[in-house]
């Protein structure tokens, strides 16, 4: 096995997918806040991986008010207030 392969496989295995709020088409931003550009829109019923989370602009959404933003892909973020994580806090590591 190549060095680092097991760590990479373990990191990928720990990523969970979460459903977005029902009936919502969710804006994906290129940074952790509403002032960042929208790169795409997720369709209703989508599920997203959360690779890491970071504080950003505060949003009031389907699941409350929070400043937590979820990194769902390289350089793509959604407000945690529209993702059903089952928690009001962080459910993944902080983004570095």
pLDDT at 44 over 60: yes
Per-residue confidence band for 13, with pLDDT thresholds at 50, 70 and 90: low
Beta strands in 1-96 (DSSP E): 17-19, 26-29, 38-42, 47-49, 52-61, 64-73, 76-79
pLDDT tens across 62-79, in order?
A: 999 999 999 999 999 999
- 66 CB contacts (<8 Å, ≥6 apart)? 58, 59, 79, 80, 81, 88
Average predicted confidence (pLDDT) for the chain:
90
Q: What is the pTM of this model?
A: 0.85
């Amino acid at each position: 096995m190549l060095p680092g392969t097991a760590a990479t496989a373990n990191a990928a295995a720990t990523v969970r997918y979460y459903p977005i709020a029902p009936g919502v088409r969710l804006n994906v931003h290129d940074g952790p806040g509403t002032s960042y550009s929208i790169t795409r829109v997720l369709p209703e019923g989508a599920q997203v991986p959360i690779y890491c989370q970071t504080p950003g602009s505060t949003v009031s959404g389907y699941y409350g008010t929070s400043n937590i933003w979820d990194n769902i892909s390289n350089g793509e973020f959604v407000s945690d207030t529209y993702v059903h994580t089952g928690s009001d806090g962080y459910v993944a590591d902080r983004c570095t």
